[in-house]
Amino acid sequence: MGQKFKIDRDFMRAIKPTGKYQEFVDSVERGFVVKVTPAGTVSYTIRWTKPDGKQGRRVIGYWPEKDPKPMRDLVKVELRDVDKRGDTTADVLERRRRKVEAEKITGTPTLAAFINDRYADWLTANTRSSAATLARLRKSFADHLDKPLGEFNGWIIEKWRSGRIKAGIGAATVNRDLSALRGLFSRALEWGVIAEHPMRTVKALQAPSGKVRWLSDDEESRLRAALDAREERERKGRESANAWRAARGYDLMPGLRKPAFVDHLKPAVLLSINTGLRQGELLKLDWQHVNLDRAILTVIDASAKSGRQRHIPLNTEALTTLRAWREQSNHSIVFASADGGVRVDVKTAWQKLLKDAKITNFRWHDMRHHFASRLVMAGVDLNTVRELLGHADLAMTLRYAHLAPEHLSAAVAKLNRPTPSTEGNAREASQ
């Protein structure tokens, strides 16, 4: 059993964020917990063991808006209305019946109110993709924002899904929308806002396999040629502009002939196709996590989609690119914006580059697929590819398996039976 604390006002005032998640268990009321996020958000939480043995958690308030004493009293009340280990079936059914009756009398908040008043704060404190999830919920379910949570049911959600499919929205996108909504209802159920999960009978659509698009040799050559042409065009443009300014006595802009690159685009593209970094990982990369002497870069936990740190060796081109770019980089962020912060995206320059290279149906993220595909086609095993890409398991990496047919051929070749002629040759050779 871990250490317990008397959670009172003095204790709450003494709490300091450490950059990591912290939990403090109350020594007075069982199940009363204070949680502190790396950013410093302090919440009161109840914790209990569910009938299936899993642990239930629910945020019931935040410090300093709420004092600990009334929150401790609230825990006693809240724990009477959750399904706990040791409950009989009759206990569970009766408790849920009371919740349904209470919903009819008091009602439930609308989807918009629940998002704004409770769910947004929880997402921000507990997930890295809170902004994207909230935007997805508000956009995808815009027509249902005024609907009370208690009025949602499987039929309403199935009707919404059918409408999205008829509108031409892909199954994978619809599944992501429903996954976001399912998470919201799970929290609402856990927090006692609703009595039943309205999506318990809603199954995910069968979506096609993940899209894998990589560059052919000719396309990669055209992309590289377009990058070089863009660099030369920018240099000539700067020389022309400076000639015009010099003729009029204006101050000259810095020349672009001496630096290895005219801006971030070429080194960012070259690094992407040689490391498989996600765009977010690339744009957040800090020089302190790039070791040019050891030829390795590190994707830290906070930047990785999986939340797990990984190390990526730099091949010759990636290392040469970063060394050259380091000489002209004046900020901590490797591909920083003009003010030194994290660059939002590279969409405009990227789309123009693809147009110049006459490459269609290719996203920035597809350079990650290109990196993985080249590795597999070069004979690198899938588990190594998984580690380099930062996939949590092999499921995502298996989409590249078909690019290594020699492994499949070698596997089925083991079933070959020797022909009569080969058996005779084998006997002759042994005599």
Give pLDDT tens digits for 151-189.
899 999 999 999 999 999 988 899 999 999 999 999 988
Region 397-425: what's the mean pLDDT?
A: 70
Check pLDDT > 50 for residue 105: no
Confidence at 81, pLDDT banded by 50, 70, 90 = low
**Number of other residues whose CB lies within 10 A of the CB of residue 273:** 21
In this structure, the answer to whether residues 255 and 399 fall within a common structural domain is yes
Task: Please report the beta strands in 52-145, taking only residues with DSSP state E, as ranges in sequence order.
Answer: 55-63
Check pLDDT > 70 for residue 210: no
* Cα–Cα dist 209/224, whole Å: 29
Confidence at 305, pLDDT banded by 50, 70, 90 = confident
CA dist list (Å): 198 to 118, 227, 234: 19, 52, 57
| The pLDDT value given to residue 182 | 94
Task: Read off the amino acid at residue 281.
Answer: E
| The pLDDT value given to residue 176 | 92
Looking at the domain assignment, is residue 106 inside a domain? no
| The pLDDT value given to residue 426 | 54
Both tokens of 240, joined, read: 């022309």
Query: Which has more confidence, 278 or 74?
Result: 278
For 254-261, which contacts have Cβ atoms below 8 Å and span 24 or more sequence positions?
259/327, 259/328, 260/324, 260/325, 260/327, 260/328, 261/231, 261/324, 261/325, 261/328
* Cα–Cα dist 151/155, whole Å: 11
Q: Are 355 and 260 in contact (CB under 8 A)?
A: no
* Cα–Cα dist 313/298, whole Å: 9
Query: Which has more confidence, 96 or 202?
Result: 202
In this structure, the answer to whether residues 180 and 221 fall within a common structural domain is no
In this structure, the answer to whether residues 385 and 274 fall within a common structural domain is yes
Confidence at 1, pLDDT banded by 50, 70, 90 = very low
* Cα–Cα dist 54/421, whole Å: 63
Confidence at 89, pLDDT banded by 50, 70, 90 = low
Both tokens of 308, joined, read: 């797990």
Looking at the domain assignment, is residue 429 inside a domain? no
* Cα–Cα dist 424/300, whole Å: 61
In this structure, the answer to whether residues 33 and 182 fall within a common structural domain is no
In this structure, the answer to whether residues 250 and 132 fall within a common structural domain is no
Check pLDDT > 60 for residue 39: yes
Confidence at 295, pLDDT banded by 50, 70, 90 = very high
In this structure, the answer to whether residues 53 and 173 fall within a common structural domain is no
In this structure, the answer to whether residues 293 and 369 fall within a common structural domain is yes
In this structure, the answer to whether residues 119 and 75 fall within a common structural domain is no
Confidence at 392, pLDDT banded by 50, 70, 90 = confident
Beta carbons within 8 Å of 118's beta carbon, 6+ residues apart: 59, 187, 191, 193
CA dist list (Å): 316 to 118, 169, 271: 50, 42, 11
Confidence at 57, pLDDT banded by 50, 70, 90 = confident
In this structure, the answer to whether residues 234 and 376 fall within a common structural domain is yes
Segments forming the whole domain that contains residue 260 = 217-411
Give the number of domains in the chain: 3
| The pLDDT value given to residue 225 | 97
Query: Which has more confidence, 403 or 228?
Result: 228
| The pLDDT value given to residue 369 | 92
* Cα–Cα dist 221/377, whole Å: 18
* Cα–Cα dist 193/216, whole Å: 53
Looking at the domain assignment, is residue 139 inside a domain? yes
* Cα–Cα dist 401/377, whole Å: 9
Q: Are 335 and 264 in contact (CB under 8 A)?
A: yes
CATH number for the domain harbouring residue 29: 3.30.160.390
Instruction: Write out the DSSP string of 163-212.
Output: HHHHTT--HHHHHHHHHHHHHHHHHHHHTTS-SS-TTTTPPPP-PPPPP-
Looking at the domain assignment, is residue 275 inside a domain? yes
Q: What pLDDT digit, counting tens, does each position of 314-355 carry? A: 999 999 999 999 999 999 999 999 888 988 878 899 999 999
Looking at the domain assignment, is residue 98 inside a domain? no
Confidence at 250, pLDDT banded by 50, 70, 90 = very high
| The pLDDT value given to residue 256 | 93
Region 251-267: what's the mean pLDDT?
A: 94
Region 274-289: what's the mean pLDDT?
A: 94
Looking at the domain assignment, is residue 185 inside a domain? yes
CATH number for the domain harbouring residue 407: 1.10.443.10
Both tokens of 98, joined, read: 């009371």
Looking at the domain assignment, is residue 159 inside a domain? yes
In this structure, the answer to whether residues 256 and 399 fall within a common structural domain is yes
Looking at the domain assignment, is residue 100 inside a domain? no
| The pLDDT value given to residue 236 | 95
In this structure, the answer to whether residues 170 and 289 fall within a common structural domain is no
Residue labelled with tokens 């908040």: 109
Summary mean pLDDT of the chain = 86
Check pLDDT > 60 for residue 399: yes
**Number of other residues whose CB lies within 10 A of the CB of residue 113:** 15
In this structure, the answer to whether residues 82 and 124 fall within a common structural domain is no
CA dist list (Å): 21 to 16, 43, 44, 121, 190: 11, 12, 14, 16, 21
